[in-house]
Amino acid sequence: MKPIIALASLLSLTLVGCAEPSPDLDGTAPVEVARIDSAHGQLRLLADADGSIAIAETTRLRRSPAEALLADQAATPLELYLALAGDDVDADPALWADHWAARPGVAPRSLELPLAGVGVEPGFTECTSAEWPGFLAGVQATYDYKYRRWISTGGDIWTNSDSNDMYRRRFDACAGDDVPSYAWLNVTIQKKLNNQVGYTFVTDGDISAGERFWYSSQSGYPDWQMQVTRPGNGNTRSLGLGRAESPPQIAP
C-alpha cells in the first residue's frame, strides 16, 4: 500500500471527485471519473459512453508520470490512477470496469511510480519549430498515422485537427516561449457520431509558455477534432500541433 500523504508531498497532489461513483453513462458526453492536480499540471480520466477511459493532461514536464506508466509498463487507466493516487484510495467503478474488460480476471498491478513522479524528469522545452517534430516522433511512436504542424501568427488562432474513423488516437498541443502568461491557448477536444450535426464537447485545457496538452482515447466514435483558439491582439504566438491514430485492430 502506498501512503497517500507521502506521495502527495512529492507530487503536491490534489485528488478531485475520486471517491464517489460515476453517473450512469447513458449519453454521448464523457464523464470525468478522476482528476489529479499536481505541481506540474492536471491529469483527468474520462469515461465515455462505451465504457472506455480516455486520458487528458496539461503538464510542464517533458514526460509526465502518466505517460511513463503507459509507455513503460502498459498501465491500464485503473493501474495508472492507483500508482499516482495510492492503492488505498477508492477508484471509480468505471475505472474498474475498463480494467476488467481489458484484462479479464487479472487483478490490477501495484506499479512503481516512475522517476517523473518524484521531480527527476526535466521540464518541457521542445515547443520550437526545430524541436517539436522530434518530440512528437517519440510520443507518437506506437501509432500508424501521424500528423504535425507548427504555427506562428500575430492574428487570431483558430486551428482544427480532425481524426476520422479511427479507433485509437492521440492529440498533442504545445505553447511556444512567445506565448506570454496572459495569452494562454485553449485546447478543446470534441467528437461526433455519424448522425450528429455538430460536435460534442469532450474536454479542454489552457496552456501557456512551457506547457503542453495531450489527449489519448480508444473510443470507437468516428469523428474527432482538436481545436486550439486564442483571440489575437497583435502579439506573435507560436504553437505546435500533433495528431496520431491507428485503425481498429481486427481479431484473427
DSSP state string for 159-188: EEEEEES-SEEEEEEEE-TTS-TTS-EEEE
How far is residue 157's CA from residue 83's CA, in Å, rounded to a whole number?
Answer: 37
Report the candidate in 33, 113, 48, 118 with the shortest Cα–Cα distance to residue 80: 113
Domain end, chosen from 118, 146, 177, is at 118
Residues 65 and 170 in one domain: no
How far is residue 237's CA from residue 203's CA, in Å, rounded to a whole number?
Answer: 23
How far is residue 47's CA from residue 29's CA, in Å, rounded to a whole number?
Answer: 9
Residue 223, in any domain of the structure:
yes
How far is residue 145's CA from residue 142's CA, in Å, rounded to a whole number?
Answer: 9
Residues 136 and 194 in one domain: yes
Residue 114, in any domain of the structure:
yes
pLDDT score for 192 = 84
pLDDT score for 34 = 95
Residue 124, in any domain of the structure:
no
Residue with cell 487479472: 106
pLDDT score for 5 = 25
pLDDT score for 82 = 93
Phi-psi region of 21 (alpha: psi -120 to 50; beta: other; left: phi over 0): beta
Residues 138 and 241 in one domain: yes
pLDDT score for 28 = 66
- Count up the domains in the chain and report the number: 2
Low-confidence residues of the chain: pLDDT under 70: 1-28, 87, 114-121, 165, 248-252
Mapped onto helix, strand or coil, the DSSP state of residue 100 is helix
Residue 218's domain comprises 132-246
Domain end, chosen from 70, 94, 118, is at 118
- 191-196 contacts: CB < 8 A, separation 24 or more? 191/28, 191/219, 191/221, 191/223, 191/224, 191/225, 192/221, 192/222, 192/223, 193/28, 193/221, 193/222, 193/223, 194/222, 194/223, 196/28
Strand partners, 35: 16, 44
Residue 208, in any domain of the structure:
yes
- 236 with 152: CB under 8 angstroms? yes
Mapped onto helix, strand or coil, the DSSP state of residue 229 is strand
pLDDT score for 121 = 66
Residues 152 and 174 in one domain: yes
Q: What is the pTM of this model?
A: 0.85
Domain end, chosen from 118, 146, 163, is at 118
How far is residue 216's CA from residue 212's CA, in Å, rounded to a whole number?
Answer: 14
